[in-house]
Amino acid sequence: MSSLSIMDRLAAGPVLGAEGYVFELERRGYIKAGPFVPEVVLDFPGAVRELHREFLRAGADVMVALTYYAHREKLRDVGREGDLEAMNRQAVRIAREVAREGGALVAGNVCNTWAYDPDEPATRGTVRAMYAEQLGWAVEEGVDFVISETNDYLGEALIALEVIADLGLPAMVTLAPTQPDRTRDGYGYAEACRILAAEGAQVVGLNCDRGPLTMLPLITEIRERVDCAVAVQPVPYRTDAAAPTMETLRAPDGQRAFPIALDSFGCTRFEMSDFALQARALGADYVGICCGAGPHHVRAMAEALGREVPASKYSPSMDLHPMFRADVAAKDAAFLNTWVG
Ligand SMILES: [Zn+2]
């Protein structure tokens, strides 16, 4: 574990987060879209290690253990309930191993379970048991804090917060802003964050589903309502007023783009570096990125925040490009007009 705690780091300035492991490893052929269960942790641990390392080199301050959807309900769907404990333990071990290479923190990770139903009180116990077993293993393997994320229900987020607090760890609890303005159980996003903060979450905010343009206005409201640290981790997709979430984006032919045809909506690294600056200006303390993230986005965000990171060694130098350099050779300069388009 790292010597500087998450609270120390938040106090010192924005903490840079990097997530979207499930989307990226799906894209690389290691996770099945649909169930999105991180079987890769056991089947191809090297692929997980590599992506952690790429985010670390790009400047991520936190290695988030890939236990997203590694809970009982989801593993049952793919017939791997028997691998539950091994998958959770291994995910934390891999995150720790890579975090140590660069002084990053390790976060345990839980998410919405799909088992919670606010109208069925019995589901509270089911959800609590799922979180308790996942986080119990995470604590034994060694995590610095826990991220509970993509919460659709404030009620479910509060259960995660209780379990994390019982384990004595700092909690970052973020909501998935999939609905126009409130959680599925009817709380405005800022109000839900206020409640989470009042119940003891050290960091509250939003992650996933919305791109920077449609997530930042909600962050402004949240920042006004809470005194604790605020997290913002959008998806790098161009959501807008007409399609405020990645789930609502439609391709020109009208087909739903989510979740595996979003490529043409992707934000450039420049858009994500602009986002990082805007988030910091709004007073966000944990600035990150979610599904769709690539290491190039993370490095651009880190550099926008004024950092030089290991991967900066290979940051762009277009002044060395044969066609863009100042002293472009005469034989190449003759063709510059064809690059104008
Ligand atoms: Zn996401």
* Entry pTM: 0.97
What does the pLDDT read at residue 95?
A: 98
CA dihedral sign of residues 304, 308, 309, 312: positive
Confidence check: pLDDT of 183 > 70:
yes
User: What b-and-e string marks burial along 256-289, b requiring 16 or more CB atoms within 10 Å of the CB?
Assistant: ebbbeebeebbbebebbbbbbebbbebebbbbbb
d(CA 137, CA 272): 34
Mean pLDDT of 138-152: 98
Q: What is the average pLDDT value for the chain, to the nearest integer?
A: 97
Confidence check: pLDDT of 99 > 70:
yes
Distance 6 CA to ligand 1 centre (A): 21
**Residues above pLDDT 70, as percent of the chain:** 99
Distance 323 CA to ligand 1 centre (A): 37
Distance 244 CA to ligand 1 centre (A): 15
Distance 9 CA to ligand 1 centre (A): 23
Confidence check: pLDDT of 273 > 80:
yes
Give pLDDT tens digits for 23-62: 999 999 999 999 999 999 999 999 999 999 999 999 999 9
* Confidence category of residue 193, pLDDT binned at 50, 70, 90: very high
